Amino acid sequence: MPHVESPSASSRPDKRVRKLVLCFDGTGNEFQGNTSDTNIVKIYDKLDRDNDAQYHYYQPGIGTYDISGGSLNKGTIGNFTSKISRAIDSGIATSFDVHVMAGYRFLMNHYKPGAKIYMFGFSRGAFTARFLARMINRVGLLSKGNDEMIPFAYSLYQSWEQAKDEKEIDVQHKKNLLNNFTSTFCRRDKSYHKEEGKVCYTPVKIYFLGIFDCVSSVAVLETPFGRTPKPVSVVGTAEHVRHAVAVDEFRVKFKAALLNQDLYYEKYEHDEDVKEVWFPGNHGDVGGGWPAHSPEEQEAKPIWWHKILRVFFKDPSGRATKDRSDDAYQMSDIPLSWMIREIELIGAKEESYALKWSPQLEEFKKNLIKKKEQAYKASRHNTMSFGRGSSWLKVLMWKFMDYVPLFPRYELQEGGKWIMQTWPPNMASARDIPNSALLHASVYKRITDQTRERRYKPRNNHGSGDPCLQEGRFIKVEAAHDDTQDVDHTLYALEPMTVEDLNSSATKIVTPKANARKAHIHTGSAARSSAVNGINGLKSRQFVVSAQEVSN
């Protein structure tokens, strides 16, 4: 079951800001104690769990434990039925509601006015975090101890989310019902507005939402006849949002639930700090979960029986090491480093809200400096290819799902619009990348690396046409942070391929600056204007795009 740590009681009043940290792991992911731990476990490991003003919660991924509970020693029949139950859960997320309600319960019992909530998630765990953030903001938090009322709060919220395509009168009824439930049972943040001379109540808002390759493959939320609902939006529910997205994921059931989709479907009039960045690699290469291999293991040519084992069996997990400084580093450590840096940059602006870290964080940074090239040059995984990480049975399963027209997914169209389609089948197609995408330095570095035997040539496009991640299109994005920019986490934009690309980006929001060579990118506006020198708009007010194309 989920692990919860509570701080020790103190007799004296505590004026420090309370921080609540929730970590939701990905499907089938749990603590391994070695390099195959996900970035969610690695973040949890680096938090200062001895700080009595910081509460911590970790939830293993969907499909990792039997939600029916009971004894762990179930016997032969019990273990078999439990394994079947967990396999079904991994496939269609039947326990999604249980995972959301468990996180809600933690917040309900530990939240106090003024507390700062941090949420982290990977894969379906990222979608769990998004859903929970929206639920808290829309419904509110029940008073502490009202555990029996949590299912009612969840059901009302889910019903309201799914009612958006129903008749207007039904939508209004469910909205009124939800509002009445909130006013009767839930608490919201209270503040005194001096100008208006009255007390105002505002929804509880997440302070930081950090997610790795969010996917919304949750069958229990889908409407009849396979219709996939619009992504659960985080717009308006979190002050700071960071999303690390995988470039090289091909599975139809792992299409990314992008913030870009939120920004297209929602009237974006809020002032959130939103940043979505693309990284090379597949789902697990961004969120973690694969075992790391040393440079010697990666460069060694496998003998014939190793190749056979790789085809028929999953890449085995590594062993736990006594000294973590001996661990090899891999692709997923780059997005992890980026996410931690983003947390620290935000924390530096308001130190009382900043997370407290354990010594493991500095150890991680120090080791990453030494083994940075390991991480940059690590091999990519591909669960759609034999011998690239997954067992042959899983590869066949994923291929079957991709080549039959049974699974709807959102695809990018001209004008930046996302539409749901089932036909033609996905057929292992690459993810669509919006015109306004931000790309991490590791993408550019891998594409321009001349030393590789096989050049990195991603086949992603903007919904149609030629691949868009071409070396000549990368344009450096200069951070406007107060600190000196970290060259390891430089971001890039894509120069438009055509005039149509420039005009069709539904998410570009750009305001020209005095310097005609630059454009300031900001959130909180619905305007759509052309960028100076044909540079796409981006959804982050923390950046300035330089029109100076990056040289090789």
- Where b means 16+ CB within 10 Å and e means fewer, 54-93 reads bbbbbbbbbbbbbbeeeeeeeeeeeeeebeebbeebbbbb
Nearest to 226 by CA among 251, 249, 253: 253
Residue with tokens 């996900």: 38
The percent of residues above 90 in pLDDT, for the chain, comes to 44
Residue with tokens 């590789």: 452
Q: Answer yes or no: are the C-beta atoms of 504 and 418 closer than 8 Å.
A: no
Whole-number pLDDT of residue 415: 74
State the Cα–Cα distance between residues 533 and 187, nearest whole angstrom. 49
Whole-number pLDDT of residue 221: 61
In the chain, what are the domains? Answer: 3-296+325-376 (3.40.50), 433-552 (no CATH)
State the Cα–Cα distance between residues 498 and 464, nearest whole angstrom. 13
State the Cα–Cα distance between residues 349 and 482, nearest whole angstrom. 10
The phi and psi torsions of 154 (rounded to 5 degrees) equal -65, -45
The phi and psi torsions of 512 (rounded to 5 degrees) equal -60, 145
Residue 117: how many other CB atoms lie within 10 Å: 24
Whole-number pLDDT of residue 270: 55
- How does residue 474 score in pLDDT terms, banded at 50, 70 and 90? very high
Averaged pLDDT of the chain: 79
Strands 510-512, 116-122: pairing is: unpaired
Better pLDDT: 389 or 526: 389
Environment class of 358 (CB within 10 Å of its CB; exposed 0-12, middle 13-18, buried 19+): middle
pLDDT tens digits for 113-136? Answer: 999 999 999 999 999 999 999 999
Model confidence, pTM: 0.84
13 cis-preceded (ω within 30 degrees of 0): no
Q: Is the dihedral of CA 11, 13, 19, 22 positive or negative?
A: positive
Output the six-digit token pair for 488: 């390891």
In DSSP terms, 411 is beta-bridged to 419
Cα 143 to the center of its chain, rounded Å: 29
